[in-house]
Structure 1
Amino acid sequence: MVDGAGPDLPENMTAIGFEAPGGPDVLIAEQVAVPQVGAEDVLIRVAYAGVNRPDCIQRAGHYPPPPGASPILGLEVAGEVVRVGSKVPSEMLGQTVAALTPGGGYAEYCAAPWNHCLPVPEGMDVKSAAALPETLFTVWHNVFERGMLADGERLLVHGGTSGIGTMAIMLAKAFDAEVIVTCGDEAKCEAARKIGADLAINYREKDFVEVIKEQTGGEGVHVVLDMVSGDYVPRNLQCLAEDGRHVTIAVLGGAKADIFMPMVMMRRLTLTGSTLRPRSDAFKAALADEIAATAWPLFTSGELAPVMDKTFPLAEAAAAHARMEAGEHIGKIVLEVSA
């Protein structure tokens, strides 16, 4: 049921799909129906869509969308609201928003719950806005809520120049934390330092555990944001200060880890983690409200801006995925849809 709609909309749209899981080359442009909106949804004419690692994992066949979500890739978009559901505030029609989506972002139109949207004010770059929701929601929840990072504490982030890594650096520094990152080469370490990292370690040349012990006088870090897992976990735990918190958000290095539990007990460590996409709409709405009150103003004011890597046309989504999987990017990759 639709409460409001803008100009007449087409029945079909261009979206990126794939017939079978595989490498980036399986992605193709195809014609599909424009999404219907539920009572609490908005329909967004997508200007830009962010590209994220979970998109690549879903394309490869290892991250199926949750029940009821669009099978189309894409977890974040920015654009104009052109249709609203019957329970959506009518003033949202015509607004420019950035949205965390359950899927469907790689398309000309995307439906999303209205309360998962953040307003994009006049003067804010729409492309940058599209590059924010997935990493901003993920970092805010895992670093500040689950990890409870506080002023003056130290944060360790692996993959310091990824979308998540660059967001973690910016947000942690904005809230007066010290940030240590690991990167795979000196050029990326230098990029991380320019973004704000206090210490960037080339993990191919140095043992990050030893460097952190030396740099912190043996105290360690208070929070680890871990996207690697596997054999990094026991090394991460060696980096943690007493009462430290280890937060896992991906398992790119392996799903299992060997942990020396006496260390966890003696140092009173906390091991936690989360995945954002399967969480309830109510949880994401509450998270959006908190971000709107705390972190979003840093971006709408221009104090912070996402680190942008490269923009690809929607039809070149395969090239965007190939770039991400090659590890060449620094910051966010986005698709231009109807800018």
Structure 2
Amino acid sequence: MRAIVQRHTGNPDVLKLGEIPSPVPSPTQVLVDVKATALNRADTLQRGGFYPPPEGESETLGLELAGVVTQVGDQVEGIAVKDRIFGLIGSGGYAEQAVIDYRLAMPIPEGWTFEQAAAVTEVFFTANETLFTRGQLAAGETVLIHAGGSGVGSAGIQLAYQAGATVLVTAGSEQKIERTKVLGATAGINYKTHDFAEQIWQLTDNQGVNLVQDFIGADYLSRNLSILKFEGRLVVVGLLSGAKAEIDLGLILRERLQILGFVMRRLPVEEKARIRNRFVERWFDDLVSGQIQPMIDTVFPLEAAGEAHRYMEANQNFGKIILQVSQ
């Protein structure tokens, strides 16, 4: 089958279209003819040699898929051949066929394209877990979502708004900020032209925020903590600026702050299934009705995976970048 392969780690140019064997599903997996997949920051890290797939997973990139079931393991429940599904995988999405555990799959809503479905899983699962399961965001609270134009950011804005929170964001352009407001953000801060911590104090009348969802890491740590209210929470989702930074433990003690981490890829299937179920129970009906929706920036053909990675690393996108694998 066709797939994106890389013979060594490096820049986006190492991603080439090639041929690899089709995967064989385990008893709890289904084989899927992949129609679309999506880019995630983890893909760029794996390409560079910094984020290898979990043991036993494919070396092929791709953490989510949308497609049509062609084969079903003998322990699979609720899914049949020819079903249109989408969901979470450990790797292997940049290929014409991939396997997915049935407990991590969801039916594609009627009338949806495969590209729409491919844009949901990673970002909405992550947003739900970081904002609500880990971050305990509640109606009436205020949250700062960094990288508001990213896939997770655009998903999180919608979920937080629907949950009755006040949403503040950072983004790298005024255009992106205006688009976040359409999704439910009250205000946005251009991190390229303003210090976000100073702006948060102004926007909140010196009250600060209850929760910060952060993808940046080291460079933002002290400022993130400084803007939290008493008993505020910081959820670290990414480390784009690095993993090591000094921390004021006195501030954490005095203000009873919490720093929480989140990663999904290394979790066992059983825990990923619980993540999937929490999202489905709370949000799937809103997804079907259009109350919340995936934001798609650009669709690239599979063979242009390298170009798509370069586009993501330039931070040009608002929402998800999709790879169309087949028609």
Is the 2:79–2:102 contact (alpha carbons within 8 Å) kept by the matching residues of 1?
A: no
1:292 CA displacement: 1.1
Cα 1:326–1:264 shift into 2, 3 Å: same
Q: Which residue of 2 aligns with 1:104?
A: 92
SS at match of 1:22: coil
Name the TM-score, length of structure 2 as normaliser: 0.98
* 1:162 alignment partner AA: S
Is the 1:161–1:331 contact (alpha carbons within 8 Å) kept by the matching residues of 2?
A: yes
Percent of aligned positions with the same letter in both sequences? 39
For 1:90 and 1:144, the matched residues in 2 are separated by 28
**Equivalent of 1:246, from 234, 240, 247?**
234
1:217 aligns with 2:209: no
SS at match of 2:218: coil
Q: Which residue of 1 aligns with 2:105?
A: 117
1:23 aligns with 2:14: no
Can you list the C-alpha shifts for 1:201-224, whole angstroms capped at 9, x where unaligned? 011221111111121122111111
SS at match of 2:20: strand
Is the 2:28–2:101 contact (alpha carbons within 8 Å) kept by the matching residues of 1?
A: yes
Can you list the C-alpha shifts for 1:87-134, whole angstroms capped at 9, x where unaligned? 002643221111100000000011011100111122223211111101
Q: Which residue of 2 aligns with 1:70?
A: 58
Q: Which residue of 1 aligns with 2:38?
A: 50
Q: Which residue of 2 aligns with 1:148?
A: 136
- Within 5 Å, which residues of 2 pair with 1:167-246? 167-246=155-234
- Post-superposition, which runs of at least 4 consecutive aligned residues in structure 1 deviate over 6 A? none
* 1:236 alignment partner AA: N
For 1:326 and 1:110, the matched residues in 2 are separated by 28
**Equivalent of 2:305, from 300, 313, 317?**
317
For 2:219 and 2:95, the matched residues in 1 are separated by 38
* 1:308 alignment partner AA: I
For 1:71 and 1:137, the matched residues in 2 are separated by 23
Is the 1:84–1:90 contact (alpha carbons within 8 Å) kept by the matching residues of 2?
A: no
Can you list the C-alpha shifts for 1:299-332, whole angstroms capped at 9, x where unaligned? 1122221111000000110111010001111110
Is the 2:72–2:79 contact (alpha carbons within 8 Å) kept by the matching residues of 1?
A: no
Is the 2:173–2:190 contact (alpha carbons within 8 Å) kept by the matching residues of 1?
A: yes
* 2:316 alignment partner AA: E
1:161 aligns with 2:149: yes
For 1:327 and 1:158, the matched residues in 2 are separated by 13
Q: Which residue of 2 aligns with 1:9?
A: none
For 1:109 and 1:174, the matched residues in 2 are separated by 35
**Equivalent of 1:267, from 252, 255, 259?**
255
1:196 CA displacement: 2.0
* 1:26 alignment partner AA: V
1:259 CA displacement: 1.0
Is the 2:36–2:66 contact (alpha carbons within 8 Å) kept by the matching residues of 1?
A: yes
**Equivalent of 2:296, from 308, 327, 333?**
308
Once superposed, what is the RMSD of the aligned Cα atoms? 1.1
Question: How many equivalent residue pairs?
Answer: 327
1:288 aligns with 2:276: yes
Q: Which residue of 2 aligns with 1:4?
A: none
1:291 CA displacement: 1.1
Name the TM-score, length of structure 1 as normaliser: 0.94
For 2:215 and 2:247, the matched residues in 1 are separated by 17
For 2:209 and 2:135, the matched residues in 1 are separated by 12
Is the 1:124–1:300 contact (alpha carbons within 8 Å) kept by the matching residues of 2?
A: no
Q: Which moved more, 1:190-199 or 1:279-288?
A: 190-199
For 1:138 and 1:257, the matched residues in 2 are separated by 24
For 1:302 and 1:272, the matched residues in 2 are separated by 31
Q: Which moved more, 1:269-278 or 1:188-197?
A: 188-197
Is the 1:231–1:258 contact (alpha carbons within 8 Å) kept by the matching residues of 2?
A: no
Can you list the C-alpha shifts for 1:194-248, whole angstroms capped at 9, x where unaligned? 2221110011221111111121122111111110011201100011111101000
* 1:233 alignment partner AA: L
Is the 1:230–1:255 contact (alpha carbons within 8 Å) kept by the matching residues of 2?
A: yes
Cα 1:151–1:29 shift into 2, 3 Å: same
* 1:211 alignment partner AA: Q
Structure 1 unmatched runs, 5+? 1-12
SS at match of 2:263: coil
1:287 CA displacement: 1.2
Structure 2 unmatched runs, 5+? none
SS at match of 1:33: coil
